[in-house]
A and B are shown apart, each in its own frame.
Chain A
Amino acid sequence: MLYRVLSNLDAGKRGIIPVGELTDLHWLSPEKKQILLDVGAVSELQSPPLGVLPGWKNRAKRLASACGTAADFLEMDDGLAAELLKVSIDAVAELKANVRSFLVIKPATG
């Protein structure tokens, strides 16, 4: 499960995770994740179908058997993604970064 950060998160040694970022909060127990949801610090990520992202229509078709949304793709096993897309593991990392860039919201400065 991916979460959108709604209030800067102080993740200790992991540093500050800024508003708008995505995180899986993998270091927290389910109870602590629920606390962050309850206080409005994060929300469950609502992401669009992968195919609506610019340049992703054809890739989404190749991945359709394994994932439907952009978030599904970000959480997908890299090896399986590489196999379905017929690309290298390194290329999957770049593609995930590309999808992530569509989902992260940069906060207004000032």
Chain B
Amino acid sequence: MTTQTTTAVNACDVDIWLDNAANTLTDIGGGTNKIDLEFDHELGEYRAFGNKWRGRLECGKDAKFTLYVIYSTTATEAMKIIESWFHANVPGARSLKIYVPTKSAGAAVYSCEARIDEYKFTVDVNDPNAVMATVVLLPDGAVTYSTAAT
């Protein structure tokens, strides 16, 4: 019989921390409700005479983080941190940490120095829901995968 997993998790309590303008990691989970994490591994390929199967070569790695941010007006919350970051004269890279399933020992931690690539939102007079913004962050250097030990 197939062994069934007993350690499945959901995303209800995922934690996301981002540097604020003072370079202090700040919990922005309360202003964010979804994150797309995309990891890419560049693979080259070749095939030679006499072989049906392709060989593949590994090269670079990259990642992309898309945050779904609730448009709020408090300076210490996600939206204003993002906006002040983007609109700074020199936005620069900031530390980003995402804890899955939550910020506690044993959690998976994805961390990097990230740069803000874009943010966008739509304001629609006919939509009574909270305004949502999407924010794309790209790593500047390696994304570290680790296990939380705090």
Which of A's residues lie within 8 Å of B, judged by CB? Answer: 7-12, 16-17, 25, 27-28, 32, 35-36, 38-39, 41
Contacts and interface: CB of A to CB of B under 8 A. Distances in A.
Contacts of A12: 149-150
A9 B106 contact: no
For chain B, give the interface size range. Answer: 10 to 19
Given A7-B146, A10-B150, A32-B104, 6 more contacts: A12-B150, A17-B149, A25-B149, A35-B105, A38-B106, A39-B106
Contacts, number: 49
Contact of B109 (A10, A28, A32, A36): A10
B149 A28 contact: yes
A9 B147 contact: yes
B100 to A, nearest CB: 12
A12 B104 CA distance: 11
Interface of B: 97, 104-106, 109, 111, 144-150
A11 B106 CA distance: 11
A10 B144 CA distance: 9
Contacts of B145: 7-8
Contacts of A39: 106, 147
Contacts of A28: 105, 149-150
Contacts of A16: 144, 146
Nearest to A13: B150
A39 B148 CA distance: 11
B39 to A, nearest CB: 15
Contacts of B146: 7-10, 16
Contacts of A25: 149
Nearest to A11: B149
Contacts of B148: 9-10
Contacts of A7: 145-147
A8 B105 contact: no
A8 B143 CA distance: 12
A25 B149 CA distance: 8
A27 B105 CA distance: 12
B106 A35 contact: yes
A73 B149 CA distance: 25
